Amino acid sequence: MADTITTTELSAGTWTIDPVHSAISFSVRHLMVSKVRGTFDTFSGAITIAEDGTPSVTAEIDVTSINTNNEQRDGHIKSGDFFDAEKHPTATFTSKSVAKKGGDYILTGDFTLKGVTKTVDLDLEFNGVNPGMGQGEVAGFEASIELNRKDFGIDIDMPLETGGTVVGDKIKIVLEIEANKA
């Protein structure tokens, strides 16, 4: 069982996600044999470290900023078949806890996508803190999770004549985050 941790390497205060030096990417099985990869190009968030070292994380992803390098596919993903981005343009994450897992961590929180909120666990790697380049401290993180799209109401079935589906159920999401001390 992982113990709840406090972070002493990050100084107390707010660390803001730097979208220029961060990325949110995903991959999903396509036609049962390959993967479609993409990114969300617009997102924001913050890591707040309390005086006792307890961290909390909040983040927002603009789902309309999806980019799979195919405009037609991106339009379909934004439609009611998938994200229904007109009604649900933002996905959010709010942490509940961080627990040690070996040399890394588990970040648990509420993730909301397409109006559905589920508690999820992200595998989290803390890459350390750097004094920065004259603009203040910088911290780095990498987090990943595998979600089932159907858990969030993205339940379109596009069966193949030969069996299987056009789009897989499991979505792998990777967050590479650089945060600046505010």
pLDDT digits (tens, 9 = 90+) for 2-43: 444 444 478 899 999 999 999 999 998 776 667 889 999 999
pLDDT score for 162: 73
| Host H or E run for residue 103 | none
Question: How far is 145 from 27, CA to CA, in rounded Å?
Answer: 11
- Beta bridge mates, 47: 15, 57
- Protein fold of 13-181: Lipocalin (2.40.128)
pLDDT at 62 over 90: yes
- 175: CB partners within 8 A, 6+ apart: 22, 23, 24, 122, 141, 142, 143, 144
pLDDT at 110 over 50: yes
Question: How far is 165 from 53, CA to CA, in rounded Å?
Answer: 46
| Host H or E run for residue 137 | none
With CA atoms as reference, report the closest residue to 43 among 68, 16, 69.
16
pLDDT at 148 over 80: yes
How many percent of the chain have pLDDT more than 70? 91
Distances (CA, A) of 154 to 27, 77, 113, 121: 15, 10, 9, 19
pLDDT score for 163: 67
Whole-prediction pTM value?
Answer: 0.88
